[in-house]
Amino acid sequence: MIEAERLSKVFHDKKRGEVRAVNDVSFICKPGQIYGLLGANGAGKTTTLRMLATILEPTSGTARVAGFDLLKDPENVRANVGFLSTATALYGRLTAQEMVEYFGRLYGLDDPTIERRINEIFTRLEMNDFRNRRCDKLSTGMKQKVSIARTLVHDPPVMIFDEPTIGLDVMAARTIVQFIRECRDHGKTVIFSTHVMSEVEKLCDQIGIIHGGILLAEGTLADLRQRYSLHDLEDIFVRIVEPHMLMEAVGS
């Protein structure tokens, strides 16, 4: 379970001054559900997810992740979260197995457990052929599988995906989408950000539309269709975001 309560993040930029990247964002994401955070570039998706993964500290507000408070117990939050994004690269000089072992150890697992988990995951994801190959020698698809194995090694109840398919070819992106679905089917709490409408339509049980750091609308796909009397998610997205973009243009 993820419960975000009025999460805000302010950055200090030399040129632009104070930048409010995330502004009072609250939402709930339940186990066995996929929550899709939909927004354009610079909308505040990555900052929100980085705060949930305790990589960034909120300026105000907080969240409870798997029952642990972000601010009070960040270590336990991380212990219960698997975080995957295109920015989370692999250590090129380690082999696929060494990479996953390293993270297993950091999550406090003992060696027999790590070995069992690696055997399970590597078999499931068909990674045994390249388990001893260095990560910098792997194809993009193989690297994605290693990243997935890295997020799964400690079997976390909460999964956070930040634009996980960006820049991937069709097959690699498919592996990721399949994996996200499997996470939900295993009862995990899943949140993922994207600006690809088709992925949201395919995967998400709940959708949050974010723009300028503000969560503008929330609901299931059916709810949103009904509320805005539109069928296509892209049209719904534009309807919600456009007035705010116009206001910003006038303001600047």
The token pair at 57 is 């500290």
Name the DSSP letter for residue 80.
Answer: T
Q: Are 149 and 121 in contact (CB under 8 A)?
A: yes
Q: Which of 93, 116, 202, 244 lies at the binding interface for other proteins (CB under 8 A)?
A: 93
Q: How many CA atoms lie within 13 A of 64 on its CB side?
A: 7
List the beta strands (DSSP E) in the chain: 2-13, 17-29, 34-38, 60-65, 68-69, 81-85, 158-162, 189-194, 206-211, 214-219
Scanning 10-95, the segments in alpha helix (DSSP H) are 45-52, 74-79
Should residue 92 be labelled a site residue for other proteins when binding is judged by CB under 8 A?
yes
User: Smallest gap, in angstroms, from Cβ of residue 113 to other proteins?
Assistant: 14
User: Smallest gap, in angstroms, from Cβ of residue 88 to other proteins?
Assistant: 4
Q: Mark residues 145-164: x for contact with other proteins by CB under 8 A, - for none.
A: -----x---x----------
Identity of the residue, 102 or 228, whose beta carbon is nearer to other proteins in the bound complex: 102
User: Smallest gap, in angstroms, from Cβ of residue 180 to other proteins?
Assistant: 17
Q: Which of residues 100-119 bind other proteins (CB under 8 A)?
A: 102-103, 105-108
Dihedral (CA of 155, 75, 205, 240) sign: negative
Q: What is the rounded distance in angstroms from the CA atom of residue 221 to the CA atom of residue 231?
A: 9
Should residue 94 be labelled a site residue for other proteins when binding is judged by CB under 8 A?
yes
What is the largest distance, in Å, between two alpha-carbon atoms of the chain?
Answer: 61
The piece of 77-85, 178-186, 221-229, 244-252 that touches other proteins (CB under 8 A) is 77-85
Should residue 89 be labelled a site residue for other proteins when binding is judged by CB under 8 A?
yes
Number of other CB atoms surrounding residue 12 within 10 Å: 8
Count residues contacting other proteins (CB under 8 A)?
Answer: 29
- Please, which residues bridge with residue 134 across strands? 95
Q: Which of residues 1-20 bind other proteins (CB under 8 A)?
A: 12
91 backbone dihedrals φ, ψ, rounded to 5°: -80, 110
Q: Which of residues 32-71 bind other proteins (CB under 8 A)?
A: 53-57
Q: What is the rounded distance in angstroms from the CA atom of residue 180 to the CA atom of residue 175?
A: 9
Q: Which of 35, 83, 130, 161 lies at the binding interface for other proteins (CB under 8 A)?
A: 83
Task: Give SS3 for 238.
Answer: helix
User: Smallest gap, in angstroms, from Cβ of residue 50 to other proteins?
Assistant: 8
The continuous run of DSSP H or E covering 184 comes out as: helix 170-185
Should residue 78 be labelled a site residue for other proteins when binding is judged by CB under 8 A?
yes
Identity of the residue, 36 or 104, whose beta carbon is nearer to other proteins in the bound complex: 104
Which residues are near other proteins by CB under 8 A?
Answer: 12, 53-57, 75, 78-79, 81, 83, 85, 87-94, 98, 102-103, 105-108, 150, 154
